[in-house]
Chain A
Amino acid sequence: MIIDLLLLMFSAVLIENFIFSRFLGICPFLGVSSKPNTALGMGCAVIFVMSISSAVTYLIYTYLLVPFELEYFKTIAFIFIIAAIVQFIEMFLRKFVPSLYNALGIYLPLITTNCAVLGAALLNIQKGHNFIYSVTFGFSSAVGFTLAIVIFAGVRVRVALADPPRCFKGIPITLVTAGLLALAFSGFAGMSF
């Protein structure tokens, strides 16, 4: 069981990385990756929210939607639940852990509409994970997301200083860079567990 969990973590972080092989969460990946510090802040917020939302959406699905045979409503229900959770966490942190609230800052509410968080919840159902597997999968997927966005922010700092042809300046060179980074991650693709 422990081995299985470790394999699940390894595969979620590297092999089936949310950004580079599932293409989820591309919007924050491009939007908040201009500085390593903000990228790390975003990554921490995602880890936090994704772990909790994986747990709660699993419980909602198993104990509410399945008994009422309303599984086909999972997407709507999850969007709704995730938005509520993020709201709740924000209020909770603001009251009891202001330092963490300040560190996460604007990124916490931004995650409400992050497709990676919803993706993790839906993939848990699709793969038939139980509760512990769901939380582990949510957590390690978010770690993979953080890894990708921090590496990419580091690369972008260097790219910003380079002098590319004018037609490549800005977003084009960023996308080319992201493609090359995704290629590097695809080196893990051959491994399967």
Chain B
Amino acid sequence: MDIFNIILAFLLFAVIGAVVGFLLAIASKVFEIKTDERIEAVKEALPGVNCGGCGYAGCEALAEAIVSGEAKANACVAGGTATAAAVSDIMGVETESAIRLRAQVMCSGTNEYSKKKYIYAGAQDCLSAVRMGGGDKLCPNGCIGKGSCVFACQFDAIKVEDGVAVVDYELCTGCGACVAACPKYIIKLIPFDSAHWVGCMSVDKGAQTRKYCDVGCISCRLCEKNCPSGAIKVTDFVAAIDYSKCIACDKCVEVCPRKIIWSGKTQSRDLTIKLNDKAV
């Protein structure tokens, strides 16, 4: 190969490179799209984990929705107050603090307390288990414990302990991915600093519930009668708390004969979880 070939190759590629570069430069001007720079800024402020808790396809989709005015500045549940403040700054609106939520699995029926109707040995997935006669637990509203919510969680905040899914409140961002994943619909989003929650969603009559599980709500209404603020009500044979009325007096926890009203209390900013002694 003589020197001419080398120079020729060099020149040819230099020319191709220059032409292509020039064309791309022109194209980037011709095809330019004016995008709102706030979209980029809002996207930066969002957590960027694409959990989908806001109801949009991901953080970028939410950023576009916020800038177009379709979503509120505090629409990101996972980011909490800090993100809401940062986004509000960019959008130039008043900060509306987002109520921090956390997921709560409304079931106390661990393997020890709940009864099984068969031994399940299929795929380790709640959806598959539900198809087999509604799961292996007798209770139609009990946690199946095969961990569909664990797979759904982007934050490693949920794990299955002894047959019931348990949420790590510090890691939980309240995005609601697990709520959507649960085939039994027994995961609920409740305010982060809720004092109490009822660890049962069995909507069967007390006598029936007793057959399923040692720690099921038997709808005795003791909590309802003893609640001074009227925050706890038994409807459809299961107790439920209205968090806007609850005054965290601990009365319901004391009177519950099945010990399924659980306490989680705020001390300064940390949530300390005090678990009751397991019921008889």
Report A's interface with B, CB cutoff 8 A.
64, 68-70, 73, 76-77, 80-81, 84, 87-88, 91-92, 94-96, 161-163
B16 in contact with A80 (CB, 8 Å): yes
B9 in contact with A161 (CB, 8 Å): no
Q: Which residues of A contact B8 (CB under 8 A)?
A: 68, 70
Taking the nearest CB of chain B, how far is it from the CB of A156, in angstroms?
Answer: 14
Taking the nearest CB of chain A, how far is it from the CB of B25, in angstroms?
Answer: 11
Q: Which residues of B contact A87 (CB under 8 A)?
A: 24
The answer to whether the Cβ of B235 comes within 8 Å of any Cβ in the partner chain is: no
**Sample of 15 A–B contacts (CB below 8 Å):** A69-B5, A70-B9, A70-B12, A80-B16, A80-B17, A81-B16, A84-B20, A84-B24, A88-B24, A91-B24, A91-B28, A94-B31, A95-B30, A95-B33, A96-B31
A92-B124 contact in complex given A68-B12, A77-B13, A77-B16, C-beta closer than 8 Å: no
A91-B17 contact in complex given A70-B8, A163-B123, C-beta closer than 8 Å: no
Report B's interface with A, CB cutoff 8 A.
5, 8-9, 12-13, 16-17, 20, 23-24, 27-28, 30-33, 123-125, 128
Q: Which residues of A contact B31 (CB under 8 A)?
A: 91-92, 94-96
Q: Which residues of A contact B33 (CB under 8 A)?
A: 94-95
Q: Which residues of B contact A84 (CB under 8 A)?
A: 20, 23-24
Main secondary structure of the interface of B (DSSP, over half): helix
CB within 8 A of B128: which of A80, A88, A94, A161? A161
In the complex, A68→B5 CA distance in Å?
9
Q: Which residues of B contact A91 (CB under 8 A)?
A: 24, 27-28, 31
In the complex, A77→B9 CA distance in Å?
11
In the complex, A161→B24 CA distance in Å?
46
Q: Which residues of B contact A161 (CB under 8 A)?
A: 123-125, 128
Q: Which residues of B contact A163 (CB under 8 A)?
A: 123-124
In the complex, A96→B30 CA distance in Å?
11
